[in-house]
Structure formats: structure tokens, C-alpha cells
Amino acid sequence: MEKLVLKTIKKYGLILPGQILVAAVSGGPDSVAMLHLIRKLTVSWGVKIHVAHLNHMFRGAQSEEEACFVAGMAQEMGLDCTVESFDVPSYISRTGLSPEEGARNIRYSFLQRIAQACKADAVMTAHHANDQAETVLLHLIRGAGPEGLAAISPREGNLIRPLLETGREEILHYCREKRLAYRMDPSNEEDVYQRNKVRLDLIPRLKKLNPQIINALTRTANICRSENQLVQEITEEAMGQVELVRQERGATLDLNRLDQFHLAIRRRLIRKIVDDFTHAPGSLSFDHTEDILNLRPGKEICLPGRLYARKEKGRLIFSRCPNFPQEDFDFFTPVPLRVPGITRIPQLNISLETEVIPWPEPHYVKNKNSAAFHLNVLDGQLFVRGRLPGDRFQPKGLSGTKKLKDFFIDEKIPHEQRKAVPLVISGDKIIWVVGYRTGEQTEATPLNEKALWIKVKKLSRA
């Protein structure tokens, strides 16, 4: 393992002599092995390591014990250490983020703050080859292109991942060999969220087809990363050739110039222009991008972020949506669903109760306020919100997506009632327009062993 990690460090230039590093240490085997090994490898390099641990306050006393464990380990190694606590459950309740995304935001903000205070050259995390393989599969399942399949990078800004080409089995073997103590997070063994299902179910099945599946998927990520970098460079060069004119409330470009490029570059140009304009990278889905490219002259479409696009006089025009006043889209802040548990939406006087149940369930009855979903829809970002301009939905039984606005029209939902229709969201996908229709291929089937049952109830007035 030492030779493999050292090879990764040298290949990507992750650590240089005399640097100051912040080590993100959770107390699990991955981060403990990383800290022990990097300290050993760099002891003659004059590298200084500052240990950082954030207690996310998800698991009460257990989280407190892990924080004490990391602080004690750092002290035994003679390393400076910063341990802080942050009430992430309250944060995600306020912001509507998923537990995974909320914890990640707070954790990286904490790490960057410590790095700045220490004047560190880099922050190192313990992502390894199995994490890489899981990420490739998750992105593949969602329908990603080369950019998504590139997955995790060995270096991202000042973030470095020296274990990225090392498998989890090697890490656990290293811990046993060096007799390193560590702490295990029991939530990693729960098969509720999609990443855990990939780790616990899908990868073991794939190993029967290819025992080297982790290496194969890691290689796929490396290939896609290199090719994605090339396409990004081509896209940057193309940006200077489309006669893009940026304005305060919009941007326009020459369609003839755009059409001279390969479809792959046209898609990237569209996404980059919208990302730069909205300052919200990733806001455009594949369907939105295709809709823009296929626009007919004189027509316009609404996009996420209160934008619309139209083709006019040989130019593609992006503008703020002047024809969608706030009162027409009185959506409430996205609220993460507790799984299992009860999530209250006081704005609509309802609650959503969720539970993971054995499937098929003989007492289950589907109706407008009850639906059962297969667990693959749980990707760590399950939440409920109101409609947004540009929303698209693939109703059960439909081969493609359609505008949510058109779905409402087809269902004869009065305009004044539409803003009060809750939407259950997984990632960027609507899986249930509550009271009307579930999404295509989201409901539990007889082939599933477990299902997520969601029930909508009126809040008590008492």
C-alpha cells in the first residue's frame, strides 16, 4: 500500500516537501490509515500535518466519542488538531438540503477555514478506489456523460486525495498490519440510501462478473477524466468563436457560429453559458439542453433559475424571465424528507410519513395520498418542494419527459391550485406529483424486497 500511495502522490504532484497539510480525519479506517501512512511517508520531507475533525451531531454520544478518539490519536502522534461540532441536522432543516449535501457543505467549509488559519497548502481527504468505483456507478445509473464518469479527481483545487488509487481491502489490511484502532459509522451499513445499496449489493454482484471491477471502474474514471479535460479545452476555445454577447439580464450568441461545432461541443457551450450567467453550475439537465438546441425560431422555453431561451434573427438569446412573477410560483423552500420519519410542511398543512417496509406489503393500498417506491430512488437527496419554472416530469407510462406545466394542464389542475401541489424529488428528478402521478420506473415492483412507503396526511389543527 505504501508504494501505491507514494506512486499516486508523485504521479499527480499531490504533496511536496515543506508543505503544510490539513488532514480530514473522521476516525474511520480510511482516514486513520491515511493519516498514519502520510505522516510516515513525509516524515523526512519536512511536511507538517494538522488534523481536523468535525462532529456533525447526527449520532449523539457516538459522534462525541469519535471526536474524542480523533483528538486523542492526534495527541499521541504529536500533531496539532482542531475538533469542532456543528448542528448539521438543524442546518439541513433550515436550508432544505439533503443530509449528505448539507454535511458535505459544512464539512468542506470547516476544512477550508482550518486550512486558511493554518496557512496550509492542501487539504487531504481519504477518498479511495472503492469510493471512486461507487461514484462512477452512481453517475452511470443517472445517465451521466464523460464529465460525470470522470467522478472524483485526485486533485481539486487545494483538495488532494492520496488514497484514490488504493482499494478499501488494502486499507483495511494496512490497519490490521499496523494495529491501528478506528471507529466504524453504522450508517454505512444501512441499505436505505443509493450509495450504500451500490456498495453493499451492486458491487458484490458485479464482482462475480469481474473480480477486478473496482480497478476497471477506476480505470474508466481516469480515461473519462483525461478525455473530459480535452473536451473542456476545446469548449473554452469555442467560446471565443460563437460571438457571445453578455448583458446584465441576458446573453446572446450567433447560431451559425454555434452550429459549426460538433454536437458534443454545442451541448457543452450551452451549459457553460447558462452556468456562467446563473452562477449555478449544473442547473441545466440533459433534457433542458436538448430543448434549447431544438428550439424553433420564434419560440421560447422556460429554464431553471427563472431564465428563458429563444431563437430570433439567427441568434440564441438567454434572458431573465420577466413573465413569471413571484406570486405565480409561490413555491416553498425544499424540505428534506426524513427516512424513516415524519416531515411536516406547515405551509400546506400536511405531513409526509415515510418508512422502509418489506415488499410486497399485503396491507399497502395505493391512492392519491400514498405511494410505494423502490429504494433505488433514494440517492441521499430526497426532498419535497413546490414547482419551479422549467420543471419537467416523466409520468408513469410515458416514454419521455414533459413540462410540468403541460402535465398540470393535461390533469385539468386549476392554475390557482398548482402552486400548492407538493413534488417529491430525488436528486433532480420528480418521482411523485403528490395526489396525481408517480414517475416512470419509480414505484416498487414485485421484484423488490423492500420499498419506501410515503403517506401524506393533513396536519392536526389542535
Annotated binding site: 26-31
Residue 211's Cβ-count burial label (10 Å; 0-12, 13-18, 19+) is: exposed
Q: Report the predicted TM-score, pTM, of the whole model to 2 decimal places.
A: 0.67
Residue 244 three-state SS: coil
Is residue 235, in this structure, part of any structural domain at all?
Answer: no
For 310-346, how does the pLDDT look when each residue is reduced to its tens digit (9 = 90+)?
888 888 998 875 544 444 444 555 777 888 788 888 7
Same-domain check for residues 117 and 48: yes
Q: Could you tell me which residues come within 8 angstroms of residue 105 by beta carbon, excluding any fewer than 6 positions away?
A: 97
Cβ atoms 56, 26 nearer than 8 A: no
Same-domain check for residues 297 and 347: no
Is residue 233, in this structure, part of any structural domain at all?
Answer: no
Consecutive H or E run containing 39: helix 29-41
Is residue 231, in this structure, part of any structural domain at all?
Answer: no
pLDDT attached to residue 283: 67
Q: What is the Cα–Cα distance from 253 to 273, expressed in whole angstroms?
A: 10
Cβ atoms 456, 337 nearer than 8 A: no
Is residue 60, in this structure, part of any structural domain at all?
Answer: yes
Same-domain check for residues 153 and 268: no
State the chain's maximal CA–CA distance in angstroms: 72
Residue 299's domain comprises 240-324
Give me the phi and psi of 296, to 5 degrees please. -90, 145
Is residue 230, in this structure, part of any structural domain at all?
Answer: no
CATH of residue 126: 3.40.50.620
Same-domain check for residues 283 and 299: yes
pLDDT attached to residue 313: 85
Of 324, 352, 377, at which residue does a domain stop? 324
For 50-66, how does the pLDDT look when each residue is reduced to its tens digit (9 = 90+)?
999 999 888 888 889 99
User: How many other CB atoms are there within 10 angstroms of residue 402's CB atom?
Assistant: 15
Same-domain check for residues 201 and 345: no
Mean pLDDT, range 25-48, rounded to an integer: 94
Bridge partners of 22, per DSSP, are 50, 123
Residue 29: pLDDT band by 50, 70, 90 thresholds?
very high
Q: What is the Cα–Cα distance from 15 to 23, expressed in whole angstroms?
A: 12
Annotated binding site for ATP: 26-31
Closest Cα partner for 304 from 282, 337, 325?
282
Same-domain check for residues 392 and 418: yes
Mean pLDDT, range 425-450, rounded to an integer: 88
Cβ atoms 378, 192 nearer than 8 A: yes
Is residue 122, in this structure, part of any structural domain at all?
Answer: yes
CATH of residue 389: 3.50.40.10
- Beta strands 341-345 and 335-336: pairing type? unpaired
Alpha helices in 240-374 (DSSP H): 255-259, 263-278, 286-293
Of 299, 324, 349, at which residue does a domain stop? 324
Number of domains in the chain: 3
Q: Could you give the strand order of the β-sheet that contains 429-433, starting from the edge strand earlier in sequence?
A: 335-336, 382-385, 423-426, 429-433, 437-438
Same-domain check for residues 282 and 167: no
Query: What is the residue-averaged pLDDT of the chain?
Result: 86
For 211-234, how does the pLDDT look when each residue is reduced to its tens digit (9 = 90+)?
999 999 999 999 999 999 999 999
Q: What is the Cα–Cα distance from 347 to 336, expressed in whole angstroms?
A: 15
Q: What is the Cα–Cα distance from 77 to 34, expressed in whole angstroms?
A: 13
Same-domain check for residues 34 and 134: yes
Is residue 368, in this structure, part of any structural domain at all?
Answer: yes
Is residue 234, in this structure, part of any structural domain at all?
Answer: no
Same-domain check for residues 319 and 373: no
Of 324, 358, 381, at which residue does a domain stop? 324
Judged by phi (left if over 0) then psi (alpha if -120 to 50, else beta), residue 279 lies in left
Give me the phi and psi of 128, to 5 degrees please. -125, -175
Same-domain check for residues 334 and 320: no
Residue 462: pLDDT band by 50, 70, 90 thresholds?
very low
CATH of residue 301: 3.30.465.60
| All cell numbers assigned to 127 | 477518498
For 241-277, how does the pLDDT look when each residue is reduced to its tens digit (9 = 90+)?
988 888 767 788 999 999 999 999 999 999 988 887 7
Same-domain check for residues 345 and 418: yes
Q: Which of 39-48, 335-344, 349-358, 375-384 has the highest mean pLDDT?
A: 39-48
pLDDT attached to residue 324: 42
Q: What is the Cα–Cα distance from 396 to 407, expressed in whole angstroms?
A: 12
pLDDT attached to residue 323: 45
Same-domain check for residues 139 and 284: no
Any idea which of 27-36, 129-138, 273-282 has the lowest mean pLDDT? 273-282
Residue 377: pLDDT band by 50, 70, 90 thresholds?
confident
